[in-house]
Structure formats: C-alpha cells, structure tokens
Structure 1
Amino acid sequence: MSTPSYHPAAVALQAVLALANETEREVADRLGLNLTDYRALSTLSQSGPMTVGNLAVKLGATAATTTAIVSRLQSRGYAERLRGEGDRRHVHVSATAAASRDIMNLMRPLMDATNRHLESLPAAQQDAVAGFLHTARHLMQNHLNTLSTKDTA
C-alpha cells in the first residue's frame, strides 16, 4: 500500500506543529509546570479572565479537574481568583501579570524573529502567509472538533 503524497507546505506545517508541541513542553518545564497546567495558564494569559467552567470547556476538562489545576496555579502565584464586583458569587480566574510576563519572556525571541521575517516579506507574501495560517487554524479546529465528536459518539 503506497503512502499518499502531500504538498511540501502540508509536510512543513506538520513539522511546525511537532516543534510547537516540543516548545510548549519546554516552556512548561522552564516555568516548573506540567503540560496540562501550562496549557491552562497559557489559555488564561491569552484569553483574559474567565470562569473555571469556561476554562474547563477550553481545556476539554471537567470543572473538578480544572478547579484543581487553578488551585495549583494559584498556589504557585501564576493565577488568581477574582470575585465579581456586582455579584460576589461569580468568580473569574486570571493569569497573574507576572505569569503572563514570564511566558512572554520565554516566547519573545521566537515572536520577534518571526515578526522580523514576516515584515521583510513583500506585502502580498505577508498577506498570503497570514491567509494560509488563518485557514490552517480553521482546518485544525474543524479536525479537532471532528476527533472530539468521534470520542463522544
């Protein structure tokens, strides 16, 4: 049985994804976190304050598991629980400013190098790269949704 031939860009994207996973593990390790806790912290850092329930949905975890994750992050000074101003029963979780800064400090060299490279490209190429990545993100989200749906069926 022969292996299908894929476009070099599709193969390169698979390699980028593998490196992204390795980078994520290394950043988690540098912060002294396991990968699951780092993913929660990263989500909070990128998305801003949210309820534990919303964080659980984003992580694909149960509320109980996510509560434990948040407690671990909070005990390390990486997350904080914020009570609602109007209704104290509403609790939002947020990455601390220091945690967001720590993540950015670890990712800044890659982000800066990527930004410099993109800015060196002609505008049409910049637009093509952005369009491709936007489409790839949607394709990946659709694939993830399909995989997740198969797990529950």
Structure 2
Amino acid sequence: MNDSERKRDLINQMQSLAQKNSTETALFHQTAAEKLGLGITDLKAVSTLLQEGPMTAGQLSKRLNLTTGAVSNVIDRLEREEFVQRKPDIKDRRKVIVTVNKEKLSSTNNIYRSMGEAFEKLLETYSIEELEFLVKFYHSTNELTRLEIAKLMSYWR
C-alpha cells in the first residue's frame, strides 16, 4: 500500500471510529442520565452549566439549541430534583441565573468518576507529544462541531 492509499485508509478508519465513539458516548450519557432519574437533555444542561458556569435561562436555551419554553421545563425538572438552583441576578434583578447545586452532584455517587479514572489511566500511557496532539485534535473537532451545529440550525430555520 502506497502512502496515498495508506492515508485514505487511515482517514476512513478515523471517520468510522469517530462515528462509533459518538454513538458509545451518547449511549453512556443516556445511561448516566437514567441512573440519575434525568433525561439526556437535562444531563447536558447540568454539564453545560458545570463547564461554562452559571447562566440565564435564555443563555442556556441558546447554548442547547432549545426553545425558551423547553429550557424552562428542563430547569423546572432539574430544580425539582435539586440539581440546579435559580438565583436572582445581582446586576439585573429582572433576570434569574441558573446555577448547579454541586452538593447534590457530589452526593449522587458521581457516576462519571469511574469513566474519568479509566480515561486518566489511558491518557497516562501517551507521551507529552501525543497528548499535545490530542489536545489540538479535540480543540479542532469541538470547534468544527460547533460550526456544523450552526450550519444545521441555519438550514432548518
């Protein structure tokens, strides 16, 4: 196999593996959500708030590509289960900020702990150069995915 054929084969393998990884990841998150008594969208809302910090319902709505009504229902469910709290915005009392209840999360026997530990063990097997490559790859794929989401959203409006 020449270099061009080898490169094409590797690209094909990467695309196939990425699709499989996406499916397995979605299934993992679905199972995790079920174990917490939540829906996948609810869990992604909590995840977004943890990663990006407290935000208004409108900001969360835009970030998750949900209608304001749908995100209000998500927040209501999460608040009932005490995963999030609504707090008045100090700067603008007309707004409400949604924050994660970290005490509740820590008391749920963190379902992600095992996965995090397994990934850490895997990543420890890579060299610094390989890790730098992976960090660059994930930054690039995250940005590419955000751009593709925006493209999809513009097609269906």
Q: Normalised by the shorter chain, which TM-score bucket?
A: 0.7 to 0.9
- 5+ residue gaps in structure 2? 1-7
1:32 — aligned with what?
37
Distance 1:37 1:114 in 2: 24
Compare 80-89 and 97-106 and name the one that shifted more. 97-106
2:137 — aligned with what?
132
Kept in 2: contact 1:83–1:92 (CA 8 A): yes
Correspondence list, 1:1-153, <5 A: 6-101=11-106, 105-152=110-157
Count of aligned positions: 149
**Superposition deviation, residue 104 in structure 1:** 8.0
TM-score for both structures, normalised by structure 2? 0.84
Distance 2:127 2:52 in 1: 31
TM-score for both structures, normalised by structure 1? 0.86
Kept in 2: contact 1:45–1:100 (CA 8 A): no
| Structure 2 residue matching 1:32: 3-state secondary structure | coil
- 5+ residue gaps in structure 1? none
Structure 1 consecutive aligned stretches of length 4 or more whose deviation exceeds 4 Å: none
Aligned residues with identical type, % of pairs: 25
Distance 1:102 1:46 in 2: 19
**Larger RCO (alpha carbons 8 Å, 6+ apart):** 1
In angstroms, what is the RMSD of aligned CA positions?
Answer: 2.1
